[in-house]
Amino acid sequence: MAKITTAQLLKMKQKGEKITALTAYDASFAKLFADAGVEVILIGDSLGMVLQGHSDTLPVTTAEIAYHTRCVRAGAPLAFVIADMPFMSYATVEQAMHNATPLMQAGANMVKLEGGDFLLPTIKALTERGIPVCGHLGLTPQSVHVFGGFKVQGRDEQAANLMVQQAIALQDAGAQLLVVECIPSALAERISKALVIPVIGIGAGKDTDGQILVMHDLLGISSGYIPKFSKNFLQETGEIKQAIGKYIQDVKQGQFPGPEHSF
């Protein structure tokens, strides 16, 4: 398999081929996922919850994401690898440039930042300097304390319209990919159609350009609460490789997520 690039992901959207993505934090799982055909691997700051056992993602550091990015890249040399920028590591444009650097040097192809309008100058600055950016809208877990819990976002019409506008603004600023998390399926579909860049959903229904799950949720081994939008693929397959294969197949065929995993 050839190296996966932003150009290829864009082509997949244009052809209507669903993009499959998973989080991974180490070389062994990254290799397993990439060999199975997962196009995008995210070193999510979800590692603060699923690896470190915290109740949110706020304690995660840039050095920790860089470490896990090196591990993932070693296992999956050809995958498209996105590294999350942790809480407050991109509060200013200068901080973002400073902290994105070690993530790219660790092997990331792109960095992911949570938020809307305040990020526009940051996205422009990073992209101009050679660092591709993935946006993240909806339930952005770094803002869980502002939201007052892990809650579905964009439910009313005003919030939905604002999110569409923000998605377009992120794209216009230079973002080359967008994650939308825990939003109504109809809104996710609207955003996916409004944007040229691929939109990857989690808890956002089946009508996005691709899907992502936290690997521990897919395997049913998350220590805490397993969200409604996740599915334990290991339960029905009984074997990790088959579980990954089934996830890929179900996403590609538009079978996952079903209405029971959507809002």
Catalytic residues: 181
Burial of 82 (0-12, 13-18, 19+ CB in 10 A): buried
- 84 in contact with ligand KIV (CB under 6 A): yes
- 64 in contact with Na ion (CB under 5 A): no
- 198-207 b/e with 16+ CB inside 10 Å = b? bbbbbbbbbb
Binding at 202: pick from Na ion, ligand KIV, none (beta carbon under 5-8 Å per type): ligand KIV
The piece of 44-52, 155-163, 221-229, 245-253 that touches ligand KIV (CB under 6 A) is 44-52
- 217 in contact with Na ion (CB under 5 A): no
- 44 in contact with ligand KIV (CB under 6 A): yes
Determine whether the annotation assigns residue 114 to a binding site. Answer: yes
x/- track of binding to Na ion for residues 22-61 (CB under 5 A): ----------------------xx----------------
Backbone dihedral angles phi then psi of residue 252, each to the nearest 5 degrees? -60, -35
Residues 172 to 211 in contact with ligand KIV, rule: CB under 6 A: 179, 181, 202
Burial of 137 (0-12, 13-18, 19+ CB in 10 A): buried
Binding at 138: pick from ligand KIV, Na ion, none (beta carbon under 5-8 Å per type): none
Residues 119 to 178 in contact with ligand KIV, rule: CB under 6 A: none
Query: Tokens 């196009």 belong to which residue?
Result: 39
Residues 7 to 36 in contact with ligand KIV, rule: CB under 6 A: 23
* Residue 235 Cβ vs Na ion, minimum distance, rounded to whole Å: 25
Q: How many residues bind ligand KIV (CB under 6 A)?
A: 11
Binding at 179: pick from Na ion, ligand KIV, none (beta carbon under 5-8 Å per type): ligand KIV
The CA distance from 64 to 60, in Å, is: 7
Determine whether the annotation assigns residue 112 to a binding site. Answer: yes
Applying CB under 5 A, the residues found at the interface with Na ion are 44-45, 84
Applying CB under 6 A, the residues found at the interface with ligand KIV are 23, 42, 44-46, 84, 179, 181, 202, 212, 214
